[in-house]
Amino acid sequence: MKLTNKIKVFLVDDDKMFTRLLTNSLSNSSTEIVPFPSGEECLKRLEQGPQIVILDYYLNGNNPNAMNGMQVLKKIKKEHPQTDVIMLSSQEGIDVAIDTLKEGAYDYVTKGANAVIRVRNLIRRIADRIELTDNMQEETSKIKKINILVIVAFVLLFVLGRIL
């Protein structure tokens, strides 16, 4: 079974050119990209239920008092733990990547030549996992209904057997 709804992806980055590049590169028939220039704006809209948030580590290019990506990540994971967060950064330091993963990021992508490809692949992997989980829940629900019907049938047969 294929996903019938688009995967909603929030993209949070204060670099307008990079945001435009990612939005254009990632938007397709199965992915809806919703860009935000700040973490605060993203957090205000989390009730819209994005499955994925792509989040820049540094978010204070336009406003020095803005929340950074780590602060936004912590809030997202606290309020919406089921939302997968892909962290983006120009930082190549392993410490930054490890810190974001410890806080619940799904993965860490360094901005560079392969960033768009890596993010696209991560979105596809998350979408596949969501589809698999949905299919498993649907199948589990069907099995529960069948089990209930079987139990009811046995009870009816037992009661009818006692009566007749």
Better-predicted residue by pLDDT, 19 or 91: 19
pLDDT tens digits along 70-86? 999 999 999 999 999 99
Give the Å distances, CA to CA, from 157 to 143, 146, 147, 161, 164. 21, 16, 15, 6, 10
% of residues, the chain, pLDDT over 70? 96
Decide if pLDDT at 1 tops 70. no
Decide if pLDDT at 130 tops 60. yes
What average pLDDT does range 146-156 have in this prediction?
88
- pLDDT class of 4 with cuts at 50, 70, 90: low
Decide if pLDDT at 3 tops 50. no
What domains appear along the chain, each with residue ranges and CATH number?
7-163 (3.40.50.2300)
User: Locate tokens 């199965």: which residue?
Assistant: 30
Residue 141 CA to its chain's centroid (Å): 23
Is the pTM of the predicted complex or chain greater than 0.85? no
